[in-house]
Chains A and B, each alone.
Chain A
Amino acid sequence: MARKYIAETDITAWLKELSGDNLIIAPVVETGTVVYRPYTSGSEVELVNRPVSSPKEAVFPQTELLFTYKQDKTPEDPGRTKVDMKEATPDRATVFFGPRPCGTRGITMFDKVYNCGKQQDTYYVTRRENTAFVTIACTRPDATCFCHSVNSGPADPDGSDVLLVPVQGGYVAEAITDKGTELLAYDLFSDAGKREQEANAVIDKAREMLGDPHDFTDAESSLYKLFDDMEFWDEQAAKCINCGACTYLCPTCHCFNITDQTAGLSGRRIRTWDNCMSYEFTLEGSGHNPRPTKAHRLKNRLGHKFAYYPENNEGLVACCGCGRCIERCPSGVDIRAIVLAAKERSDVQE
């Protein structure tokens, strides 16, 4: 379908239009750091620097209210244990504005977990259906970027409803889905015309900057081979400090924890991000922990992304190559290096 063009100066107007019947989440600079925030007229969206946090919060907020409850008792019958419940329904139409393709593509990994035949997560599905992603193609990959090593690229439309490609003075916009088409149905847009070539050039340049991809083929089998090779994992995990920065910044990590909170007669159940790098993640009631050390936990994180998940999903690697985990890791743990090391090690073993 024909690509369109919007001038940089019209972006604000567009957002204004969209915010009519949508909640808009867009990147803003908050005391120097780029994060996603609800867009309110007047807030300045940041479209050049990539947000530190990942777009997954659009469909998988760090804290999700599941339902509220209240004990319904009366002075006549104080012993009554009737409980009223009110389910939270995140059905607000939302436009999630300004992620990079890597992040948006990460969301598609969620679909296979929370929105597949056998498994439908109401909260996720509702949010997913009500959220449109307006993605901005990547023009300047960093040393930590490796989307091209996980079968993606700087302009991968996967997961996006609209893909914007920055060009001189504005953006070339492409509707990827019908939802996207609607979002472009404003006269702020003109035909892209020959800006299309410019857009393609921008993308090619970005791809070129990425250099040669890493060869992650057979990572799956290598990791399975090394499952019991704790010496290897201890070495790899040595510098890991076992925080959750990687998992919480990761666009594809999707584990959660559920908590009931009570205050007086009323209370609520919330779902919050959980992280497999923490000790409690697998701590059992008995006190036994199948993943007692950080090595076990790092192994699981790697394994899940490059072996277990792919095994269940036609070889799809559960890593979008955004490199956030590398860039923001306090210890500089490099997931790429570990996967490559694993391959090397398992080859040696044969």
Chain B
Amino acid sequence: MRIGVFVCHCGSNIAGTVDCPGVAEAAKMLPGVVFASDTMYACSEPGQEGITEAIREHDLDGVIVASCSPRMHEPTFRKAVERAGLNRYMLEMANIREHVSWIGKDVELNTNKSVELIAMAAAKLSQNSPLTPSRFDVNKRVLVIGGGVAGIQAALDCADGGLDVILVERETSIGGKMAKLDKTFPTIDCSSCILGPKMVDVALHPNITLYTACEVDKVDGYVGNFSVKIRRKATYVDWDKCTGCGACMEKCPSKKSLDSFNEQVGTTTAINIPFPQAIPKKAAIDAEFCTKLTKGKCGVCAKICPTDAINYEQEETFLTEDVGAIIAATGYDLFDHTVYGQYGAGRYPDVITSMQYERLLNASGPTGGHIKRPSDGKEPKRVVFVQCVGSRDPSVGRPYCSGFCCMYTAKQAILTRDHLPDSQAYVFYMDIRAPGKLYDEFTRRAQEQYGVQYLRGRVSQIYQLGDTIVVRGADTLAGDQVEIEADLVVLAVGAEASRGAPELAEKLRISYDSYGFFMEKHMKLGPVETNTAGVYLAGSCQGPKDIPASVAQGSATAAKVLGLFSKDQLESDPQVASVKQPRCIGCMKCVRTCPYGAINEIEDRFKNPKADVIATICQGCGLCTSTCPQGAIQLSHFTDNQILAEVNALCPPFMDESFE
């Protein structure tokens, strides 16, 4: 092998504590090395020129660049050697900056270490072989999971970009949490007025196929070629016939059904359309409460329905959609405050969640937008808001800040004073977190313009006293205990991962954190990508977010997908595992450990079981290689022999002094 070594000074970054010319000189004596030189900036234009020239002049078939971390410039130098006609995998790097010059000042030791790192690289390089990526076609359809504002935005942007979009929502209508909100901060404009039109656009968009009351059941395949099995739940209403007239709702006798859209503030009918602006506007039966389905009698809705859409026999069905990319926008759920015994554990009717309060404030809510407290329907005079319920509290496993509670609490306090001018609003808070555009101004308006009373401290106890609720807490600024007799207490419950998030993550083969929020590829530089190619994240499924952030991410994922689909074919990274069939004994241990299901059991022509890697699914982790007892499955570019070569370069298997 003819190896060329290029030792980078990186200005004084390396040369400051490493004798670069000395390293180059010593490198010449390494096995396989036929050329070595040192250069001021290997990554600079002249630096790269030097490399490409040397490759041609000395007809090198392998290159070692001793410079910064490969995590920094490997792509750069791979392109460089490729320009000179070498395969990009015939490049190795020796990290003599981050791992040498920057962590020690002893020139002798650093220089020696640099030479050894180059020796390792040379040893590995001598085992390298050219690798070429394979290409495969992309199915330019995208699946969006979750019909909240983030999913809606992603779906619309993709669709406007000309892509076929499949939007899956597990509820009967899209809209998500935002559809439940009354107003939005910091502008106090009507939530449904700004979301509504987008929901309609989704319904009308020719490129969008909308599946509500559906869930993702199984995901197979890989970037560019996913195959998604979708489960359509039984709604007992034939939606092709249902016109959404609502006649069934008027006549349905079981009116005590759970009204989850209204957060159980009041009840609804067993057959219902969750809210007037629902998209699609279709009725569905809640099997738990329908007397026909539970007891077999009634059937009023079937009689009343003008289009015979009711079908009590309906069962769940499955359908499959093939897509090339997936956007997860499954949002969040609300923290269950009943774990707080000191807050009444949900026993007191007039201690409600912030989302329930939204429904009370909402003109299309159960109270028609009049604030009436649940217990006796009286208008509350004193409303106490308690923040950080299930946020920033390690004791309930929620050490993180939900981010938006400060803002919506301020909003709700303002709205309270709007609706009931003679009322008083109190807010117990830890810190006010308002780092958005016009956010801090907004919270200040609540205090200064609307006279909302902010008390800095945690609430220690809430209990019923006659028909009032006593809120006891600390005012750490005043430095004393306060007790407020309230008519209504609103708990600013924090956000937590959407129910079923971990299960979905496993279907998508993406990772999730200890709270169940999906993990992005890189906290800073890959916030909407995941470690699984072709799967993207939008909105609160990745962590609590407010509306603008969720919308922005919706658009960001759309941009990512459009970028991905801008090519007709994708290149698969050739650093994947492959099976040496003659060595494989078919024990399938690799199949069992592969995190990606990238290995299949096949039969060779003698009908012997053999493992077989699907290159496009393999992510190149090498778990299989270290699992295979006979070394039959090898991860390209990190084979046993390549790693052993590095080990042997550092610890030679034998010393032969006979020539010394």
Q: Are A and B physically bound partners?
A: yes
Q: Which residue of A lies closest to B657 (CB)?
A: A266
Count residues on chain A whose CB falls below 8 Å from chain B CBs: 18
A267 to B659, CA, bound (A): 10
Q: Are A68 and B659 in contact (CB under 8 A)?
A: yes
Number of A-B contacts defined by CB within 8 Å = 47
Q: Are B659 and A263 in contact (CB under 8 A)?
A: no
A84 to B658, CA, bound (A): 11
Contact A86 B658, CB 8 Å, known A79-B34, A263-B652: yes
Segment from B23-31, B82-90, B141-149, B456-464 that makes contact with A: B23-31
Output the residue of A71, A78, A262, A263 with the most chain B CB within 10 A.
A78
Return chain A residues, CB-CB under 8 Å to B582. Answer: 287
CB distance from A184 to the nearest CB of B (A): 38
Q: Are B653 and A71 in contact (CB under 8 A)?
A: no
The yes or no answer to A70 lying at the interface (CB within 8 A) is: yes
Contact A262 B31, CB 8 Å, known A68-B658, A70-B659: yes
Q: Residue B31 contacts which of A75, A86, A265, A268 (CB distance < 8 angstroms)?
A: A265
Return chain B residues, CB-CB under 8 Å to A71. Answer: 31
Return chain B residues, CB-CB under 8 Å to A266. Answer: 656, 658-659
The yes or no answer to A239 lying at the interface (CB within 8 A) is: no
The yes or no answer to A190 lying at the interface (CB within 8 A) is: no
CB within 8 Å of A: which of B631-660? Answer: 648-649, 652-656, 658-659
A191 to B29, CA, bound (A): 66
Q: Are A263 and B654 in contact (CB under 8 A)?
A: yes
Contact A261 B654, CB 8 Å, known A70-B659, A75-B25, A75-B29: yes
Return chain B residues, CB-CB under 8 Å to A265. Answer: 29, 31
CB within 8 Å of B: which of A204-248? Answer: none
The yes or no answer to A264 lying at the interface (CB within 8 A) is: yes
Q: Residue-by-residue, is A287-330 near B (CB-CB < 8 Å gives 1, otherwise 0)? A: 10000000000000000000000000000000000000000000
Q: Are A264 and B659 in contact (CB under 8 A)?
A: no
The yes or no answer to B35 lying at the interface (CB within 8 A) is: yes
CB within 8 Å of B: which of A56-76? Answer: 68, 70-71, 73, 75
Return chain A residues, CB-CB under 8 Å to B654. Answer: 261, 263, 268
Q: Residue-by-residue, is A75-95 near B (CB-CB < 8 Å gives 1, otherwise 0)? A: 100110000101000000000
The yes or no answer to B18 lying at the interface (CB within 8 A) is: no
The yes or no answer to B36 lying at the interface (CB within 8 A) is: yes
Return chain B residues, CB-CB under 8 Å to A261. Answer: 653-654
Q: Are B656 and A79 in contact (CB under 8 A)?
A: no
Q: Are B29 and A78 in contact (CB under 8 A)?
A: yes
Contact A78 B656, CB 8 Å, known A263-B648, A287-B582: no
Q: Residue-by-residue, is B94-125 near A (CB-CB < 8 Å gives 1, otherwise 0)? A: 00000000000000000000000001000000
Place the interface of chain B in its size category: 20 to 34
A264 to B26, CA, bound (A): 13
Q: Residue-by-residue, is B17-46 near A (CB-CB < 8 Å gives 1, otherwise 0)? A: 000000001001111011110000000000
Return chain B residues, CB-CB under 8 Å to A84. Answer: 659
Q: Are B28 and A86 in contact (CB under 8 A)?
A: no
CB distance from B86 to the nearest CB of A (A): 17
Return chain B residues, CB-CB under 8 Å to A262. Answer: 31
Q: Are B34 and A78 in contact (CB under 8 A)?
A: yes
Return chain B residues, CB-CB under 8 Å to A267. Answer: 656
The yes or no answer to B392 lying at the interface (CB within 8 A) is: no
A294 to B655, CA, bound (A): 38
A262 to B29, CA, bound (A): 15
A78 to B33, CA, bound (A): 7
A221 to B652, CA, bound (A): 52
Return chain A residues, CB-CB under 8 Å to B36. Answer: 78
Return chain B residues, CB-CB under 8 Å to A264. Answer: 30-31, 119, 649, 652
CB distance from A242 to the nearest CB of B (A): 15
Return chain A residues, CB-CB under 8 Å to B28. Answer: 73, 75, 78
Q: Are A68 and B25 in contact (CB under 8 A)?
A: no
CB within 8 Å of B: which of A30-77? Answer: 68, 70-71, 73, 75
Return chain B residues, CB-CB under 8 Å to A86. Answer: 658-659
CB distance from A64 to the nearest CB of B (A): 15
Return chain A residues, CB-CB under 8 Å to B35. Answer: 78-79
Q: Which residue of B lies closest to A73 (CB)?
A: B29
CB distance from A108 to the nearest CB of B (A): 34
A265 to B31, CA, bound (A): 6
A75 to B25, CA, bound (A): 7
Contact A268 B659, CB 8 Å, known A71-B31, A78-B28: no
CB distance from B656 to the nearest CB of A (A): 5
The yes or no answer to B2 lying at the interface (CB within 8 A) is: yes
Q: Residue B656 contacts which of A73, A263, A287 (CB distance < 8 angstroms)?
A: A263
Q: Are B2 and A263 in contact (CB under 8 A)?
A: no
A79 to B31, CA, bound (A): 10
Interface residues of A (CB under 8 A from B): 68, 70-71, 73, 75, 78-79, 84, 86, 261-268, 287
7 A–B contact pairs at CB < 8 A? A71-B31, A73-B29, A75-B25, A79-B34, A264-B649, A266-B656, A266-B658
For the complex of A and B, 5 pairs with smallest distance between CB atoms = A263-B652, A78-B28, A79-B34, A70-B659, A75-B28
